[in-house]
Amino acid sequence: MPNHVFDEIKNLVTEARNPASEDIDAKSSEEILHIMNQEDQTVPQVVAREIPYIARAVDLLVETFANGGRLFYVGAGTSGRLGVLDAAECPPTYGTPPTLVQGIIAGGEKALVESQEGSEDRRDNGVKDLLARGVTSKDVVCGIAASFRTPYVLAAIDKAREIGCKTIFVTCNPREEIKLDVDIAICPVVGPEVVMGSTRMKAGTATKLVLNMLTTASMIRSGKVYGNMMIDLMMTSKKLEERSKRTVMMVTGLNYESAVAVLKKADGHVKTALVMALAEVSAEEARKRLKASNGFVRKALAKTE
């Protein structure tokens, strides 16, 4: 007699067979790749249909960050790794503290480099790992599970709601089939995978796109971008150091040497350097203006633009 897990997964879109690849094992390398590529091309359009829900989540995150809250991703396997990746890339890109966006993965750090498949079934660990981060009612918890049924993730979401957090869920199964009490469900239904059940493929791609959109749009709306350039980064590597100089040069029209000089006075902070150069003010005045404008360069320059 099949157990409850069999019954849970047997009708999931993410566990179905894909007609386009049913005989893929008899194909040549190039034919296999064409099938994969054709399927991958459907993903962006599917994500596009979820933009209204993604936008609601972005608005929620902008408000949360402005009020001192944080974002916690919770996932297992590929979903968990994608959450950790997105969280890890926020500090170097947008100058955020590592605590602002955090990734929690079933099985802990070891699961990032070595599969810990059984860990996704441990509901108690989902609760324990969430509580270990000191989650409060000011925070947002985003569950990520392509199948939407992952026990570790569901338990964390249940606990988050109990705490009073706002909740988001990213899954690749249809919204009408999700029996979850969350504030916002984001459901890019990419259909059956080329290899049945291998959700690191289209589902993983869709998830990566959604997470990119969530944090990137939230950071833009939080004043971390001027035009389409990152301006809250710090010069913590050679690449970021040169990107900082180039950004200052492009925005202000300064030459290389002058950009270096103003960045030095700004302690390497691009946003401060831009206000200094464009408004022709001191570093102290630039910081004062930025603080008064909640970090938005355009608002800090309002008196001079």
Read off the tokens for 244. Answer: 């900082």
- Catalytic residue, from 89, 162, 176, 241: name it: 89
> For the chain, how many residues are written?
305
Tell me which amino acid residue 225 is.
V
Q: Please say if 120 is a catalytic residue.
A: yes
Distance CA 266, CA 272 (A): 6
The residue behind tokens 């200094």 is: 276
Are 60 and 186 spatial neighbours (Cβ–Cβ below 8 Å)? no
Distance set, CA 112 to CA 29, 104, 199, 212, 244 (Å): 29, 10, 16, 19, 31
Give the whole-angstrom CA distance, residue 239 versus residue 246: 11
User: Cα separation of 213 and 50, whole Å?
Assistant: 11
Considering 120, 176, 242, 305, which one is annotated as catalytic? 120
- Cβ of 233: how many Cβ atoms within 10 Å? 23
89 a catalytic residue = yes
What six digits make up the tokens of 302?
A: 């309002």
The amino acid present at 100, given as its one-letter code, is L
The angle that helices 151-163 and 123-132 make with each other, rounded to 10 degrees, is 50
Any bridge partners for residue 144, and if so which?
75, 170
Burial class (CB in 10 A: 0-12, 13-18, 19+), 5: exposed
Q: Is residue 110 classed as helix, strand or coil in its secondary structure?
A: helix
Q: Which residues are catalytic?
A: 89, 120
